[in-house]
Amino acid sequence: MRGTKNSFIGMAVAIVALYGACTDEVEGGDPDGLAVSGQVIDFATGEVLTGTASVSTRGLDPAPVVIVDGAAFAIEPIPANSIFHLLSAAPPTHRATYAAVEVIDGSLEGIRVPALGETYIASLATGFGVSPTAARGILLARAVDDAGAPRAGIPGSAFTVPPGASGPFFLDPQLQAAPGATATTASGWVVFFEIEPGLVGLTASANAQVTMEMAQSPVAPAAATIADVKITDGATVLPTNVSFRQQVRPIFQLRGCESCHSGSGPGRDLGNLTLDGSVSLIYRELVEELALTAGPKRVDLEMPEKSLVLTMPSAEDPPDRHPNVTFTGPSDRDYQLILVWIREGARDN
C-alpha cells in the first residue's frame, strides 16, 4: 500500500542492490499486473549461478506465473503495492533461500536474488562453532540505514534473539565468519542459526537505543532466509492522538488499498469492503459494519492486534486469503498508526 517509487523501504530490493543489480522500475505498466525479472546469484560471491535454479513465490494469492531459464527468471502478474518473498534454490549446491521483494507502482527488471551455497553455510557453521539441524532455518539479516547502506557497530545486545535461536553472530566485510565480533562490521550482516519455522522479524531489545524494522519473513526447515533490517537511532516511540481523517485515511490511498477496495476493484467482492468513498462511509465500513457479527472484526477494540484491517494486509502463518502483503510487519509505521488509532478507541476524528 505504498504510493510512489521513491517512498518505499526496498527490503530485498535493497539486498539486491548490494550485489550491483539493476533494479529499474518500468513506469506505465498495468498497475494490477506488474512483473519482476532477474537472476539468482550466489550470496557470497555475487556471481550468477551456473546451474538451473528453481524459483517460487510466497505472499501472493493467486500465485503468479514463474518462468525459469537457467538462473534467469520472470514473474507475472504481481499486484501493485505488494511485499512478497522469492524462494530460490539450486540443489545440491545452493540451499532454498527466501528473500523479500517489494513492488510499488512499476515492474522491476534485472534484480539479483541471492541464494546461500551449501559449502558457504558449512564454513559459517564451522567458523561460529554451531551445528545446524535440518528441522530449523538460518537467518542472515543486513543492518542498514535509511538510505540502505550497511551499518557497522550495532551491538549484539541490541537484537532480540528469536525463540530458541543461536546468535547473534556477525560477518566480516568479506562476508566470512567473524567469531570474535560483538557488533556488526562494515558488511552489516548478522546471522542467527536454529530459527523456528514460521515467520521471523528482528526487533530491538528492550534497552537498545535503536529501532529496527524488518519485513516479516518466512523460515522453513533446512532453508535460509535473507533480509534487510533498517536501523534508526533512538528507541521506538509510538504515535499518539492519531487522527482517522488526517493520518489513517491517507494510508488507504497512499498504499494502494483504495484502488483494490473500490467500487469496481476485486477487494469489493472478495472482502465486501469499500475504501474509496467519503471519509464517513469508510469509517462506518471499518468500525461499524462487522461490529455485531461473530468472528474477527475489521476493527477490534478489545484486541486491536487482531483487527482485520491490520492482519489481512500483513504476513501470517499460515497465510490468510488476502491477495498480497502490504505491511512489512508490526514495526511498519503505517501499521503502528492504525494500531494506535484502534487502541485510542477508533474514533471518527
212 with 177, same domain: the answer is yes
Q: Which of 207, 233, 259 is the last residue of a domain?
A: 233
At residue 166, does pLDDT exceed 80? Answer: yes
Counted residue by residue, the chain has a size of 349
Peptide bond into 77 cis (omega under 30): yes
125 with 193, same domain: the answer is yes
**Residue with grid cell 548490494, as numbered in its chain:** 18
**Per-residue confidence (pLDDT) for residue 259, from 0 to 100:** 81
- Cell numbers linked to 57: 513465490
250: containing domain? 244-343
Count of domains forming the chain = 3
Q: Which of 233, 254, 272 is the last residue of a domain?
A: 233
Least confident residue range of 1-10, 16-25, 29-38, 79-88: 1-10
The pLDDT tens digits for 263-282 are 666 666 667 788 888 899 89
3-class SS letters over 237-305: CCCCCCCHHHHHHHHHHHCCHHHHCCCCCHHHHHCCCCCCCCHHHHHHHHHCCCCCCCCCCCCCCCCHH
> What letter represents residue 274's amino acid?
T
Angle at CA 18, nearest 5°, toward 17 and 24? Answer: 10
Q: Choose the most confident range, by mean pLDDT, from 2-6, 26-30, 75-79.
A: 75-79
CA distance 86 to 66: 10
184 with 283, same domain: the answer is no
The pLDDT tens digits for 228-268 are 999 999 988 889 999 999 999 999 988 888 888 876 666 66
Peptide bond into 155 cis (omega under 30): no
100 with 170, same domain: the answer is no
Strands 166-170 and 107-115: unpaired
75 with 144, same domain: the answer is no
> What letter represents residue 59's amino acid?
G
Residue 89: in which H helix or E strand, if any? strand 82-90
283 with 224, same domain: the answer is no
CA distance 107 to 105: 7
CA distance 231 to 301: 31
265 with 210, same domain: the answer is no
Residue 2 belongs to some domain of the structure = no
At residue 5, does pLDDT exceed 70? Answer: no
